[in-house]
Homo-oligomer: A and B are copies of this chain.
Amino acid sequence: MQNVGLWAMGFQIGAPSTPDNGSIYLWGALVIGVLGLVVAFLFSRSVLSIDAGTSEMQAISNAIREGAEAFMSRQYGTIAIIAVVLAVLLFIGYRLSPFTAPFANKVVISFLIGAICSGLSGFTGMFVSIRTNIRAASAARTSLGRALQTALRGGAVTGLVVVALSLLGIGILFFLFGGLEHPQATPYELVGFGFGASLVALFAQLGGGIYTKAADVGADLVGKVEAGIPEDDPRNPAVIADLVGDNVGDCAGRGADIFESTAAENVGAMILGAALYPVFGIKGILFPLIVHAINLVASIIGVAIVKTNDTEDPMSALNRGFYVTSALALAGFAVAVYQMLNGTNVHPGWLLSCGVVGMVTAFLFVWITQYYTESKYRPVQSIAEASLTGPATNIISGIAVGMETPALPVIVISAALLLSYYFGVRGLADVHIPGIAAYAKGIYGTAIATMGMLSCAAYILAMDTFGPITDNAGGIIEMSNQPDSVRDKTDKLDSAGNTTKALTKGYAIGSASLAAFLLFSAYLEEIKTIVTAKVNVPGGFMPPGWSFTNINLAEIPVFVGALLGAMLTYLFSSLAIKAVGRTAQMVVKDVRDQFRENPGIMAGTSKPDYGRCVRIVTGAALKQMVLPGALAVLTPLAVGLVFRNLSGSFHIHIPGEYSPVLNGHSIDLAGAEAVAALLMVGTIVGILMAMLMNNSGGAWDNAKKYIEDGHYGGKGSPAHAAAVTGDTVGDPYKDTAGPAINPMIKVLNIVALLLVGFLVR
């Protein structure tokens, strides 16, 4: 570990005099993390103790559960193989260079633990959700309030497990890696944890997204279009696969997504906190963990107080819980800022304002998403109206709405970045410590904003998982022929669930953008650290105050990196969408085969082999997720390795510029710069594409529902047929490619962070 001192060099000036201060905060955060798991366990026990309904309901629920669990096992099996292969490659790669070799063990261990935690939180969330749906359905037979509580608490298990495991994983690794002794060097050693989380999230979203839409599209194509049987008809061999898809796509995928957002945000913010060590000491590094401890406590209380009766709109009850959570989180955030981010010449009020910027950003994102996807506003109505003139105009207007959607969120993100950066600079304006540039202060401000945005994550995730639970509950009630009064209740819940699902998608992309910006800043910081270590030998020279912040778009390799980053997003989306098409074809083929092999199915005299269809779509989805996933992992690697070998002719020399020098040569950073541009522009285009796809998909879906509610001719009219086409087009947008872009952006950034040791020549 003699190199740790090397890495951390240049920062020790001005370190606070009480280095062991941090242990209280670390242990406090860990205790609350454990508490979060305990409460999750209690919630799940209370949910599971509810009566599971009639045997008819159970039969349907069991078929869904078995399919989902079979898919999850195989999916995580595949991801485990990919993870082990990557772990071996990481280990070998890290051993190759003397600068990275000391970290090989830690990176690989934290990578595997990150992957395992992510898998665990996805699996647990799934395990509980899939058992909650039937219990929520069952509770709906007696009271709407109980059904709502059941569904929300089932969802809260996912939310709490995700945040608690992220907190515990990072906190324990921080402790084991000696973070209390050398707090500045340790955060970077946790990057592996973020990579593990992002990798699992990427494949979970891709695999689940491909599965759910392939089953959906395939079942519809062969059932409704070819055989002429209604949706969810039990004669369709793909019907169970379709219901399974709702679970594996929505629950498991979103859980893994938010897990990696919090993990990435934790690791990124800790690395940036390490850069401000002379100001805040270990408290600046541990601050993100405390924010998530607050998040857990506030969310538990928020979930616990949600109650409703049979007459209230369920959305109001959910919102009440959200407001309580937000207020508590804000109060806790304020205390934490004044307690931890304080000191001589620090103005914590400005830093708290950064957090408020993040919270306001979250609200605005949710509001904008609502505007573009709810049927009471212009965008969805324009699509519904365009359906009157057929599928082509429906799709054209949906595309136009989709292309319009990034405008407002981009303005919001821009304002959030500018403000939180400015507040960060102001908050630390009077701190004058050598090596702490205005840039580090401002960027830490954006990190605080990101933490603010994620400070209610557990509650929001609970609301999100509430969506598929109530969706399935409604399906079970419908398929098991319950009385209309029960259906009315589940319909109300289902409609609230659709709203929460759409809103949290907006939240997910907003937090993903800020988290990606954080990782990107951490990447710049780590390049600086490794260059510092590299030239700290005889023959090396580091200009005082140098930092790696010069990503000059006017340099051709940087411009080319930017071009490739933008292109990558399109290619990734294309591959994800094509994967849905290919997998759906397999479903179509199997259903046709089953109809031909067993004519009793259509006649209604014999049961189709649901399991065979589930197995086929499982295998195909897992095969198809590999290529887009590999593209995201390998592109930064390829660009970095190619460009680091490009001649120095492409570097623009800035007059008077001091560069770090080794043995008379400037350190060649062409590879690091090209990768930086790839990350930034890849992130920008990725955010925009994700918004476009999520929102237009949601708008198409709700335009269809709006028509089904009786507008423009209602169900069965030509406008409805056109809207169904639009909805089908939107499906792979909003449920496969769009959500997979979030983890893709973060995988890009985190792979680059892992690569810093190889990019610097």
Indicate with 1 or 0, residue by residue over A559-574, a CB within 8 angstroms of chain B CB atoms.
Answer: 1101110110011011
Cβ-defined contact, B390 with A225, below 8 A: yes
Indicate with 1 or 0, residue by residue over A576-601, a CB within 8 angstroms of chain B CB atoms.
Answer: 01101100100010000000000000
- Residues of chain B contacted by A577 (CB below 8 angstroms): 396, 399-400, 403
Complex A-B: 27 CB contacts under 8 Å = A221-B393, A389-B588, A392-B725, A396-B577, A396-B729, A399-B577, A400-B577, A403-B571, A403-B577, A404-B570, A407-B571, A410-B564, A414-B564, A417-B556, A417-B560, A421-B649, A422-B649, A425-B649, A438-B649, A439-B652, A545-B655, A550-B554, A566-B684, A566-B685, A566-B688, A654-B654, A685-B688
A384-429 contacts to B (CB < 8 Å)? 386, 389-393, 395-397, 399-404, 406-407, 410-411, 413-414, 417-418, 421-422, 425-426
Cβ-defined contact, A562 with B400, below 8 A: no
Known: A410-B563, A552-B550, A556-B417. A404 touches B571 (CB 8 A): yes
Given contacts A392-B725, A403-B570, 18 further A-B contacts (CB under 8 A): A391-B725, A393-B584, A396-B577, A403-B573, A411-B564, A417-B556, A418-B556, A421-B650, A437-B653, A438-B653, A439-B554, A553-B558, A553-B677, A566-B566, A566-B685, A654-B657, A656-B658, A657-B657
How far is the CB of A634 from the nearest CB of chain B, in Å? 14
Once the chains are docked, how many angstroms separate the CA of A407 from the CA of B653? Answer: 31
Residue among B386, B552, B580 making CB contact with A581, cutoff 8 Å? B386
Known: A413-B563, A442-B649, A676-B553. A655 touches B546 (CB 8 A): yes
Residue among B221, B390, B570, B724 making CB contact with A406, cutoff 8 Å? B570
Residue A300, interface by CB 8 Å: no
How far is the CB of A448 from the nearest CB of chain B, in Å? 14
| Residue in chain B with minimal CB distance to A721 | B391
A718-749 contacts to B (CB < 8 Å)? 724-725, 728-729, 732
- Residues of chain B contacted by A399 (CB below 8 angstroms): 577, 729
Residue A16, interface by CB 8 Å: no
- Residues of chain B contacted by A439 (CB below 8 angstroms): 554, 652
Cβ-defined contact, A395 with B652, below 8 A: no
How far is the CB of A365 from the nearest CB of chain B, in Å? 15
- Residues of chain B contacted by A563 (CB below 8 angstroms): 410, 413-414, 684
9 nearest CB pairs, A to B: A403-B574, A392-B728, A656-B658, A410-B567, A404-B574, A551-B553, A549-B554, A400-B577, A414-B560
Cβ-defined contact, A562 with B684, below 8 A: yes
Known: A221-B389, A410-B567, A681-B681. A551 touches B549 (CB 8 A): no
Residue A217, interface by CB 8 Å: yes
A280-331 contacts to B (CB < 8 Å)? none
- Residues of chain B contacted by A553 (CB below 8 angstroms): 551, 553, 558, 676-677, 680-681
Residue A524, interface by CB 8 Å: yes
- Residues of chain B contacted by A570 (CB below 8 angstroms): 403-404, 406-407, 688, 692
Residue A510, interface by CB 8 Å: no
How far is the CB of A186 from the nearest CB of chain B, in Å? 24
Cβ-defined contact, A656 with B653, below 8 A: no
Interface residues on A, range: 35 or more
Copies per complex of this chain: 2
Chain A positions near chain B (C-beta within 8 angstroms): 217, 221, 225, 386, 389-393, 395-397, 399-404, 406-407, 410-411, 413-414, 417-418, 421-422, 425-426, 437-439, 442, 446, 517, 521, 524, 543-547, 549-560, 562-564, 566-567, 570-571, 573-575, 577-578, 580-581, 584, 588, 646-647, 649-650, 652-658, 676-677, 680-681, 684-685, 688, 692, 724-725, 728-729, 732
How far is the CB of A219 from the nearest CB of chain B, in Å? 12
- Residues of chain B contacted by A584 (CB below 8 angstroms): 393
- Residues of chain B contacted by A410 (CB below 8 angstroms): 563-564, 566-567
Known: A410-B567, A562-B681. A581 touches B397 (CB 8 A): yes
How far is the CB of A719 from the nearest CB of chain B, in Å? 12
Cβ-defined contact, B400 with A581, below 8 A: yes
Cβ-defined contact, B650 with A442, below 8 A: yes
Residue among B391, B438, B442, B685 making CB contact with A391, cutoff 8 Å? B391
- Residues of chain B contacted by A543 (CB below 8 angstroms): 655-656
Once the chains are docked, how many angstroms separate the CA of A250 from the CA of B355? Answer: 53
- Residues of chain B contacted by A552 (CB below 8 angstroms): 549-552
- Residues of chain B contacted by A646 (CB below 8 angstroms): 418
- Residues of chain B contacted by A649 (CB below 8 angstroms): 421-422, 425-426, 438, 442
The interface centre, meaning the residue of A403, A524, A578, A725 with most chain B CB atoms within 10 A of its CB, is A403
Cβ-defined contact, B396 with A567, below 8 A: no
Cβ-defined contact, B418 with A557, below 8 A: yes
Known: A403-B573, A563-B413. A647 touches B422 (CB 8 A): yes
- Residues of chain B contacted by A549 (CB below 8 angstroms): 552, 554-555, 652, 654
| Residue in chain B with minimal CB distance to A390 | B225
Cβ-defined contact, B680 with A559, below 8 A: yes
| Residue in chain B with minimal CB distance to A403 | B574
